[in-house]
Amino acid sequence: MTMSEADKKALRAQKRAEKARRKEEKYYLASQWQLMARKLGKHQLARISLVILGFLYFVALFGNFLAPYSLTEYDANSKDLPPTPVHFSHDGKFIGPFVYHAERQTVKMSVAEKSAAQKAAKERGEKYTPPTLIATDDTEPIPIKWFVHGSSYKFLGLIESDLHLFGVEKGKVFLFGADSMGRDLFSRIILGSQVSLTIPFAGTLISFVLGLVIGSISGYFGGWVDNVIQRVIEVLNSLPSLPLWMALSAAIPAGIPPVQMYLLITIILSLISWTGLARVVRGKFMSLKNEDYVMAAKLAGVSDMKIIMKHMVPGFMSYLIVNLTLGIPSMIIGETSMSFLGLGIQSPATSWGVLLKEAQDVTSIALHPWCLIPLFFVVLTVLAFNFLGDGMRDAADPYK
């Protein structure tokens, strides 16, 4: 038996209606979080930001594999080399991506020329540095290979490996140029992102806990407890962050392992930044504690801690998460400024702020503009977190 055309059409319409109804049902049955996620997905900028951040964190996670060189590898002949151009055709023939070997050489000068140059530098009040030039050998193409063996590392901190995504077997490839010690900036940006992208997260987590606990105690109990906590917050807030950083990072003993230093710096950053969140939480508690359901819970004999954690906190959790997201950018900038001043992460570990230390004065930027590349990543990350936070704020607002 065959269905008539009209029947088919009716069936299709019915199916469509059923689908729409289910969709609607899903909407009405969705939890608060599902609704938020749905709204967030519709926010164009937030979606793009989420993709960018996902990519950045992915790169940081597999950083050791993606970066062609390790943090400690350097090449004395490659100091301040500009980004290595990647070519595809040699002598008019296409042979895939390859680079030419380049290195920095001192200009050969006669003794008389050298002393004249030294004298001129002295007159200008500058330190004499012998002039160099970049010698490129464009007779022999060095192909860029995939999955090459290089320095060994522990993949995800567990599996020993020496495989890198790409690299060259002879000479060096510097996609973003090299720094003043001949280290690959591209690798350093990737490996630095492991610090720069996770410190804000860990720090936010610590300040989240601190802010939540202290803020809720202050708001829930009120009275003299509230008064004392508020004064402490005021004092902390009116202290400029610079002396705090300097004193606290001077208190970090020299020569401790990078992991510990990393943790200590995270703690310093979060010790300064919990106050904002504590204020927000306190304000929310003040307005919620007189609600009927809190009174009912109290009458029913629920303990204070349980009322706070089970009944009140979920009421403004979405708001807190938005606040957290918007707090991450300032922590990224904080870490960058700290490292920029030399108060944060110390070598051999690196972060974007440490890399930007090379861009401290105009002359070095004018000579090697590629040292500004880390700035691009700092700005990109901060912007992405800002847009994501903005999108989340819109999504968490039930009246929009």
Partner 1 sequence: MGNYILKRVLTFLPILLIMSLVIFFIIQLPPGDYLTSYVAGLKAEGQIVDESELASLKERYGLDQPWFMQYFKWMGNILTRFDFGYSFKYEAPVWSTIASVLPMTIVVSLVTMLFNYLVGIPIGIYSAVHQYSIGDYCFTLLGFIGMAVPNFLFAILLMYGTYIWTGTAFIGLYTSEVLVGLQQGTMQWWEVLGRGDFWGRMAIPIIVIGTSGTCGTLRSMRAQMLDELGRNYVLCARAKGVSEKRIVYKYCLRAALNPTVSGLSGVLSHIFNGSTISAIVMNLQLVGPMLYEALKAQDMYLAGTILLVMGFLIIIGTLLSDILLAWLDPRIRFSGRRAE
Residues in contact with 81: Cβ distance below 8 Å, sequence separation at least 6, in sequence order: 102, 103, 104, 134, 174, 177, 178, 182
Min dist CB 374 to partner 1, Å, is 9
Min dist CB 365 to partner 1, Å, is 5
Q: Spell out, one character per residue from 317 to 356, where the chain touches partner 1: x when CB under 8 A holds, - when not.
A: ------------x---x--xx--xx--------------x
CA angle 300, 305, 307 (to 5 degrees): 45
129 binds partner 1 (CB under 8 A): no
267 binds partner 1 (CB under 8 A): no
Among 72, 129, 139, 363, binds partner 1 (CB under 8 A): 363
Q: Between 27 and 55, whose beta carbon lies closer to partner 1?
A: 55
Q: Between 186 and 387, whose beta carbon lies closer to partner 1?
A: 387
Among 108, 362, 399, 400, binds partner 1 (CB under 8 A): 362
243 binds partner 1 (CB under 8 A): yes
Q: Between 171 and 329, whose beta carbon lies closer to partner 1?
A: 329
Angle at which helix 241-250 crosses helix 258-288, to 10 degrees, equals: 140
248 binds partner 1 (CB under 8 A): yes
Shortest CA distance to 337 belongs to which of 197, 241, 271, 237? 241
217 binds partner 1 (CB under 8 A): no
C-alpha span between 249 and 343 (Å, rounded): 6
Among 235, 256, 295, 296, binds partner 1 (CB under 8 A): 235
Q: Between 262 and 385, whose beta carbon lies closer to partner 1?
A: 385
Q: Of 20-28, 95-103, 112-120, 365-373, which part binds partner 1 (CB under 8 A)?
A: 365-373
Q: How many H helices and E strands in the chain?
A: 16, 5
Among 52, 117, 321, 383, binds partner 1 (CB under 8 A): 383
Query: Please, are residues 141 and 89 in contact by the beta-carbon 8 Å criterion?
Result: no
Among 51, 135, 225, 242, binds partner 1 (CB under 8 A): 242
Strand segments (E) across the chain? 87-90, 93-106, 132-143, 145-155, 159-167
Q: Of 6-14, 244-252, 267-275, 293-301, which part binds partner 1 (CB under 8 A)?
A: 244-252
Q: What is the per-residue DSSP string for 99-152?
A: EEEEEEEEPP--HHHHHHHHHHHHHTT------EEEEEEEEEEEE-EEEEEEEE
Residues in contact with 189: Cβ distance below 8 Å, sequence separation at least 6, in sequence order: 176, 352, 355, 373, 374, 377
| Residue 181 φ/ψ, nearest 5 degrees | -110, 10
Q: Which two tokens stand for residue 228?
A: 């004392």
Q: Between 300 and 366, whose beta carbon lies closer to partner 1?
A: 366
151 binds partner 1 (CB under 8 A): no
Query: Please, are residues 40 and 395 in contact by the beta-carbon 8 Å criterion?
Result: yes
Min dist CB 340 to partner 1, Å, is 7
Q: Tell me the sheet residues that pair with 106.
A: 132
Residues at the contact surface with partner 1, assessed by CB under 8 A: 231, 234-235, 238-244, 246-248, 250-251, 329, 333, 336-337, 340-341, 356, 359-363, 365-366, 369, 372, 375, 378-379, 382-383, 386-387
